[in-house]
Amino acid sequence: MPEGPEIRRARDELAEVLFDREVQQISFAFARLKPFEPLLTGQTIVSIESRGKAMLIGFSNGYTLYSHNQLYGRWMIVPVKQYPQISRQLRLAIHGNEYSALLYSASEIEVLDEQQLLVQPYLQKLGLELLAPETSEDDVYQRLNQACYARRNLMNLLQDQSVLSGMGNYLCCEALHASGIHPQSKPGDLTDRQIKRLARNCLGLSRLSYQTRGITNSQKKVAQLKRQGVAFEDYRFQVYRRAGQTCYQCGELIVKGKYAGRMGYICPSCQSLFNK
């Protein structure tokens, strides 16, 4: 599933070709949304923002196009109406004068007026936005240190969008590894120093991933692996999708397992339940 950094980068790409431009044509794959096509065609796009894993595109007549990519959704920018030859299902197309913005495979798409936007369920529950410029390490620390979360398993807590918005499976695995914390740990079992370290890594790795197009490994290690000719997918992560390979920090083999019902990756040496 695309996580906060991927949606924020998609937002940047959409803004480059759509913001402050008139929509020449818009089409939806879903019959329930067809009535909005004439209402949005000819309107100017006045805002584009990402919130957590959702995209919000605002139109000059007050409507907002809400979309959530879920597991497989993907935005693509192409020269106007030059559709790529791919097997994905096209769900939404926004055509300008020069470019088309195409959303494939996503099924959670809504057109909302101003009042509906205020009560949209996913947006209503969003917690602290990790990619918001004003969010600080202390904000994340204070959120994770709340008494109501003390007995929550971290593998679930960190991916709860009402706690930390935009954080998903790969960022969770990477932040826990960088912090030396086992995914079955609970905030109430951690020292204050550990919680602060985890807060720093949740924030820092989310922003690093946004800036580097998905890399959460150390930049020094990435440079080294690049010189060795290693492919992008093989150098971007510390532990995620690296089961059976050696940990960059200690040399132990990375393992894949289920933690609180969620699949994840850990280094059993760096992330022992007894690490403090």
- Express each pLDDT in 119-159 by its tens digit: 999 999 999 999 999 999 999 999 999 999 999 999 999 99
* Same domain for 214 and 203: yes
* Mean pLDDT, residues 105-116 taken together: 95
pLDDT for the residue 69: 87
> CA distances (Å), 136 to each of 19, 53, 191, in order?
28, 20, 20
Distance CA 223, CA 11 (A): 28
Using an 8 Å Cβ cutoff, are 187 and 158 in contact? no
Final residue belonging to a domain, choices 92, 110, 125: 125
Residue 273 confidence (pLDDT) above 90: no
Answer yes or no: 276 catalytic.
no
Number of domains the chain is built from: 2
Q: Are residues 57 and 162 in the same domain?
A: no
Q: Is 2 among the catalytic positions?
A: yes
212 and 90 fall within a common domain: no
Query: Using CA atoms, how far apart are residues 25 and 100, in angstroms rounded to an integer?
Result: 9
One domain, residues 92 and 215: no
Structure confidence at residue 276 (pLDDT): 56
State whether 21 and 56 are in the same domain. yes
Catalytic residue among 2, 5, 183, 187: 2
pLDDT score of 18: 97
Q: Which residues constitute the domain of residue 236?
A: 128-266
Q: What is the pLDDT of residue 107?
A: 85
Statement to judge: residues 100 and 40 lie in one domain: yes
Q: Among residues 74, 241, 262, 268, which one is catalytic?
A: 262
Report pLDDT for 79: 97
* Helix or strand (DSSP H, E) at 203: helix 192-212
Task: Give whole-number Cα distances, 179 to 17, 115, 190, 244, in Å.
Answer: 39, 41, 11, 21
- Residues 30-43: what's their mean pLDDT? 98
Tell me whether residue 273 is in a domain: no
Among candidate residues 8, 9, 53, 91, the one labeled active-site is 53
Which of the four pLDDT bands, split at 50, 70 and 90, describes residue 274?
low
Q: Return mean pLDDT, the chain.
A: 95
Identify the pLDDT of residue 1: 61
Give mean pLDDT, residues 165-181: 96
In terms of phi and psi (left: phi > 0; alpha: psi -120 to 50; beta: otherwise), the region of 64 is beta
Task: Please give the structure tokens belonging to residue 175.
Answer: 């932040």
